Structure 1
């Protein structure tokens, strides 16, 4: 039995999160109206994608790389607000006017330019515009050898910092002037690797790792190439399995340690070492030290801010999590990932009004992307199980991905108690497993649930038995995966095998407890509570449900009202009190 303070978390921390909400509001603007209202700093700048005037279209990644490096260099300058790469890339090839872009991004200054690459030479043209005064503050044309590209990138950043009166320390200037490599071909492969990695698919990350190997073959002192390769090895495996195996962990460490030997003060190298601790061991405190170092060197880098926020979320330090996510989103307002994660954090702390505002802003900024609509529906369901409003939003959704559409259709049918539709959706789909960071559900398990809800016990047992065979096979290969252990517990619970259900449930939850990872641990702990409900261990289930409701977690009023899995304890006075407290 877990001893808890029965007051809901939002009641105990209300004042703190009101302050956090105000802070985030100041940082990320006012959402929901289609505009993005904020005070605009005179030291704010967006570097638009440099136009590629080269004869080969495939040289586009080179011009994109120039843009990225100038942004990264400006992020090293204190006192400047520099819009991040993700947001400015949205304006590649745009016909919008400079003033309109500046207004959308919340900046005063715009740097635009072009690059032409041919016969071993480059021509770079850049100009800085004050959009308030409609004045050109700086302009320059560089005609250089291709190998001088690093000097050009550094010079542009330093000139912009001077014009905008940024706080340029000696250390920052030194970092900006450092050449990443003396081999332009090695740098070319490095830029190609980044292009592939941006897509974050398993295939593209594999190609990125290969490109970096070619880069290292040409320059075995290229620290950034080693660091990025080590990071991509970690990222690829973590995205696939939620953890990194010992063999790949060793390989990644070797690459990153080589980078550290060459460039120990480089912020990107140190950040990569932070991810070694993060993805390899879930040692968030150790990772935090490396991320803090990187952020100190590049105070305007949204990626470092976002990574810090992610660590604080895992550590359960929600005020800091929301603060850092808000700061990252403020300088990368077109990033769907940053918006989505900030919105999810507001949902986990049950600040649903803020979560809905950000979902609305995502829809306004990206009306042809499904993410904003999906996040809005999730808010409506979590807050008060408002199925009718969610259905209206779903009908408005554009270009909904198959994965998002399927999950939302299943959620809506469950919350409406429309179990026939729930079954029909699953029977018309061919997905074997529904896999997320926190669960590993066979489609047959969900079909078993559907048939159980309509009273077809024999059919449900048939599907649960099929699901059990599938997950037992997975367990043979993944015995320490908490998702597999908990899924076994859930299936055993449905098959009335109480002893095995509780054993695997406890093992699964203990492999990644809330105390170690507040984000994932809470999701996994919810599954343990469901197992306890399935085997009629109601007192223990309610003890743990009260605990999970008392902290920031996935448990919400809408979840308890809408999910039929809670039906066995729905009439219990303690459950009813939880509903009252969460409403």
Structure 2
């Protein structure tokens, strides 16, 4: 627990299972001893108080057994407790030997599912430091281990978004494994104190609760990279996963020699992955400081590129400037370390949006998938680019593994559902959207993706309703309100649409991007204004314009629309 009140030697999940097993074992043994005493003591001529005394001692021993099981762990190394080593040079201390298990196969449903030991979830490492604010560091350890494992093609590694759902969770490991469809679970803890760090890690065979491997590391803080590398290697060994020489070399590589730069990177990454506009400035500041301290540290360059890309897509910076910065940072990252998958993905998205070089951008994103076969984000961004090129079947083939690797991610699930719908699988896609919106009712991006096939298929009033809900969630964001107005207009409710346009304009034209003003011009049937704002949006690299093509918002049969689309997708065959 973050307040440091739990035993520091083992993470809460492991201690909880030790306690349950020890308590049940004690109860069984105590019942047997009590029964034997009841049978044999009278025959041995024992005094009348002997049997009640034995039974009372057995009952009193039960809570003592539970307390000892919570505080201590019995393994091949003996009875061990969890205190942070005070010595300057700690070494890894094995607590359990690896136990191999046969590999299973993943079925089509939970009832048919057979656990695959090479499918693994790395649960958030518990922060056992005295300062709860150090949780960012324990999350960083979790993230870095995931990054290492994502490179191993022989594994199936659940992504961060889905495992973070179980932070501080009391859900049993077996249930987590079923929900994530994995056979192995890694859990652990991190305790940071001054320039020392203690990391524990346990690899568990989920369906048997058996420990495949466990280890405790007491190290100097700047040795954290070696710890993370060793954990990844030991997992691969325990699960008998093939480890390519290039991947092994990359996992063993020390990414930075500046711990301050590393800690800034970890904090910046946490803010960037929130994808929250209010946290983007802090992420940019921390990542820029990290690369200033260690210019050769590739990871923060890649994350800096990602953060600029998010700022360009979801607000916070003029898109053209943001994508230019994203591309430059990504290029620095891949120049420093050609195996940084995120750098290739960001460069790919930036090249498509900034340069309209879809071929090169798609190849960059494809290379990211090759480098990170278990990286859900890499699969997602490749599918993202393919969807924008209306290559729907290929996009779906990317979204499928992305969702398998990140099953609790509503944005990825909504992209997958939209791709299915655009391929004509409407009933299946609608059921998927119903489940996603029920499970994640406040995620506006889900409604934004649901509106894509709705508009393309002419379901304008449903499109208006989806965007009305999006506006409600986002506090009246003008992009959702403008889309709602367009849906009402095409759905035959023109008076309501025009009234909504007036409300949007009342906020001030300066707050409205060219992409939003294009939508308002379409509602008002101001074709000259629509052409002007489309040209402006293309020049400014407004990303929403790319989606207008997929959504069928613009009349692509019109020569002026086809002419302008040809500047974005040169040489592409624009279907009517």
- Output the TM-score relative to the length of structure 1: 0.67
The residue aligned with 1:322 is 396
Residue equivalent to 1:211: 286
Aligned pair partner of 2:405 in 331, 334, 342? 331
Residues 352 and 383, structure 1, Cα contact 8 Å, conserved in 2: no
- Residue 513 of structure 1 and its aligned partner are, at CA, apart by 4.3
Equivalent in the alignment of 2:159 = 84
CA displacement at 1:265 relative to structure 2: 3.8
Instruction: Name the CA distance, whole Å, in 2 between partners of 1:359 and 1:374.
Output: 11
1:76 and 1:298 in contact (8 A); partners too: yes
In the other structure, the counterpart of 2:177 is 102
Cross-structure match for 1:119: 194
Equivalence for 2:16: none
Tell me if structure 2 keeps the 8 A contact 1:231–1:275.
Answer: no
Aligned with residue 309 of structure 1, among 371, 380, 383: 383
Shift of 1:269: 3.8
Three-state SS of the structure 2 residue aligned to 1:153 is: helix
Larger CA deviation: 97-106 vs 278-287: 278-287
- Contact 1:482–1:507, Cα closer than 8 Å, also in 2: no
1:71 aligns with 2:127: no
Q: Deviations over 1:388-410 (max 9, x none)?
A: 9997x999999844458746864
Give yes or no for contact 1:48–1:67 (8 Å, CA) kept in 2. yes
Tell me what 1:441 maps to.
Answer: 517
Match of 1:166 among 241, 251, 262: 241
The alignment partner of 1:110 has SS state of strand
CA distance in 1, matches of 2:422, 2:134: 43
1:356 and 2:430 are equivalent in the alignment? yes
Structure 1 vs Structure 2 CA RMSD: 4.3
Contact 1:305 1:328 in 2 (8 A): yes
Change (3 A) 1:227 1:399: same
Q: Which residue of 1 aligns with 2:213?
A: 138
Of residues 429, 435, 440, the one that matches 1:366 is 440
Quick check: 1:293 aligned with 2:370?
no
- Give the alignment of 1:474-513 within 5 angstroms: 480=539, 505=561, 508-513=564-569
Alpha-carbon distance between aligned partners in 2 of 1:107 and 1:394, rounded to the nearest angstrom = 36
Aligned to 1:41: 116
Is the CA contact 1:75–1:82 (under 8 Å) kept in the aligned structure 2?
yes
CA–CA distance in 1 between the matches of 2:499 and 2:411?
32
**CA–CA separation in structure 1 for the residues paired with 2:297 and 2:136:** 19
Which ranges of structure 1 fall in alignment gaps of 5 or more residues? 1-25, 450-463, 487-500, 523-546, 549-583
Distance 2:434 2:107 in 1: 13
Residue by residue, what CA displacement relative to the aligned partner does 1:275-329 show, whole Å, maximum 9, x if unpaired? 4423331323223333333322322111111122223333443322111111111
Question: Among 50, 53, 61, which residue is 2:136 paired with?
Answer: 61
Counterpart in the other structure of 1:153: 228
Cα distance in 2 between the residues matched to 1:186 and 1:483: 33
User: 1:49 Cα shift?
Assistant: 0.9
Cα distance change, pair 130–367 in 1 and its aligned pair in 2 (3 A)? farther
**Mapped partners of 2:273, 2:143: distance in 1:** 12
User: Would the alpha carbon gap of residues 363 and 202 (structure 1) be closer, same or farther in structure 2, given more than 3 Å must change?
Assistant: closer
**Paired residues of 2:514 and 2:536 also in contact (CA < 8 A):** no
Q: Distance in 2 between matches of 1:254 and 1:373?
A: 32
1:355-394 Cα distance to aligned partner (Å, 9 max, x none):
2232133135435545656766776776684969997x99
Inter-CA distance 300–409: structure 2 relative to 1 (3 Å threshold): same
User: Are the aligned partners of 2:309 and 2:346 in contact in 1 as well (CA < 8 Å)?
Assistant: no
Match of 1:180 among 255, 261, 285: 255
Which shows bigger deviation, 322-331 or 169-178?
169-178
Question: Per chain length, whose mean CA-contact separation is higher, i.e. which structure has more relative contact order (CA < 8 Å, sep 6+)?
Answer: 1
8 Å CA contact retained: 2:454, 2:460: yes
Report which stretch shifted further, 270-279 or 207-216.
270-279
- Quickly say closer, same or farther: Cα 1:503–1:132, change in 2 above 3 A: closer
Seen in structure 2, the aligned counterparts of structure 1 residues 396 and 282 have a Cα distance that, compared at 3 Å, is: closer
Q: Is the 8 A contact 2:417 2:432 kept in 1?
A: yes
Contact 1:45–1:111 (CA under 8 A) maintained in structure 2 = yes
Specify whether residues 189 and 428 from structure 1 end up closer, same or farther in structure 2 by C-alpha distance, changes over 3 A only: same
- Paired residue for 1:560? none
Decide whether the 8 Å contact of 2:485 with 2:523 is kept in 1: no
Q: 3-state DSSP class of the match of 1:55?
A: coil
Residue 188 of structure 1 deviates from its aligned partner by 0.3
Counterparts of 1:237 and 1:373, CA distance in 2: 20
Contact 1:114 1:124 in 2 (8 A): yes
Q: Which residue of 1 aligns with 2:320?
A: 244
2:265 to 190, 193, 199: 190
Q: 1:333 to 1:433 in 2, by over 3 A?
A: farther
1:478-557 aligned within 5 A: 480=539, 505=561, 508-513=564-569, 515-516=571-572, 547-548=575-576
What is the CA-CA distance between 1:200 and the residue it aligns to? 2.8
- Match in the other structure for 2:303: 228
1:281 partnered with 2:355: yes
Q: 2:414 aligns with which of 340, 354, 359?
A: 340
